[in-house]
Structure formats: structure tokens, C-alpha cells
Amino acid sequence: MDEFELRPRHDDEQGGAPDYAVLWADRLWMIELKTETSSHRRGQLTSYYALAGHHHPGLSVDLTYLTPPFTFTPPAGQDDIRFAHVTWAQIFPLLREVWGNGTDTERQVLTMLLQALESIGSNWSDWRAQRVGTPKDEPPAIEDIAMALAEATAHDGRQRAVNHPTADLDLLQRLRMTLREAICVEPEQSPLRYVKPWLWNAATSGGIALSPSGRDVGFELRLSRYRKPVC
């Protein structure tokens, strides 16, 4: 499964979304990918185990963490979980074994893939700034866009979705928490206190997407107004 959703156990929890997962009757194997070490978040891997245990009780849980080389504290060991940290360079022999003797097209793709993987670990933002410079007119931050939509929903009650084409499920979960935290510190009389950010998923929520990005990927961040304050 791509973008394996681990729903939060309550509204004040972020939830999780390992990049891939394989599910058997007795085992769950999650795979988390990182191309930049700066995107590693403290507690992220531990939360994956906690949420997996909650939503899939009784299964043995394995987690593979595929990253550039760096040092971090792995999740604490338990009897029913296994953890493996693998670097991108360590999978090169596997790629060559599978596609190294393939067609001309497969070998060409393999060469390009290995070149791309060898560059992993550099910071994309720094690379972009060095080569193309920083645009003079940066677009509004997605947090500002989402908050503006929340304010509109607070006033007219119409459900809205945040169009975020570059976001994966994990980013949307973090954006949901950012919005919820901002809404919950609003004054008690603020209409924003009645707006709840939540994640719509085509596979589990029903209905249709409200945004282009939701139609493309099957999930989106939505904003709905409730009769009572949500926090």
C-alpha cells in the first residue's frame, strides 16, 4: 500500500503515514523513506509503532527506515517489533541485480536512477537557491492559505478543502495539527473555534474530492464548521 494511513487516536494526535506498507494476516511491514536527513522528526518512528499497534492489534510489526547516512536514536526494542535502518547506497546492489542485465531501456533507467540516488542527502532548498536563486515573489505559505479557508468556513459554514498538490499524507497530517493548534488558541468567542480541520480519504470517507489535488491522490485536508466549539 502506498501512503499507508495510520489515523490519530484522538484529535490532538497527528497520526502517521509511512510511505509504503505490506499487510499480511499476521504481520505488518512499514517502509519509511527519507531523501533529506533534515526531514527526520523526533518521535515519528515511535508513533508509527504505537499507531500500528492500536489499529492492527495482534500483528507483528516491522519497520524499515531508508535514508541517507546519519545518526539518530532508533525506536526502543520490543518483543513483537523489528526495526532496520538502511541507507540508499545499501540498496544499489539490489537494483543492479534486478535490472543490471535488463533491456537497453531498463539499463538506461537504472543508470539515471543510481545517479539520482547518489545525490540524495543534499538539501533541495539549498540546491535550488544556489542554481536558480530565490524567487522575488514567493507564493503564500500553505499554512496561510489553509487558515484563510478556515476563516471563510467559520463565517459562511461551507465546507472547504485545501488544494496542496505537492503534499503527501504525512504533510497533510502535520498541516492539520498546525491548523488545529492555531484554532485552539483563538479567543473563545472567535468563530474559528467552531472549525475543524480533518483528513478526507477517498478509500474510507466516502463522497468525492473537493480539490484538484484530492482528485489526484485520493486524500485532502478539509475544513468543516460545527455547531459546538471543536476545542
pLDDT class of 115 with cuts at 50, 70, 90: confident
pTM of the model: 0.75
Instruction: Check residue 192 and give its pLDDT.
Output: 95
Q: What is the dihedral of CA 222, 223, 226, 228, to 10 degrees?
A: 120
Query: Does position 156 have pLDDT exceeding 50, yes or no?
Result: yes
Query: Does position 71 have pLDDT exceeding 60, yes or no?
Result: yes
Q: How far is CA 96 from CA 84, 88, 108, in A?
A: 21, 13, 12
Distance CA 75, CA 127 (A): 31
Instruction: Check residue 84 and give its pLDDT.
Output: 94
- Write the pLDDT tens digit of every residue in 17-55: 999 999 999 999 999 999 888 888 889 999 999 999 999
Q: Name the residue type at position 215.
A: R
Distance CA 11, CA 187 (A): 19
pLDDT class of 127 with cuts at 50, 70, 90: very low
Q: Which residue has the higher pLDDT, 181 or 78?
A: 181
Distance CA 118, CA 207 (A): 42
Instruction: Check residue 80 and give its pLDDT.
Output: 72
Instruction: Check residue 41 and give its pLDDT.
Output: 87
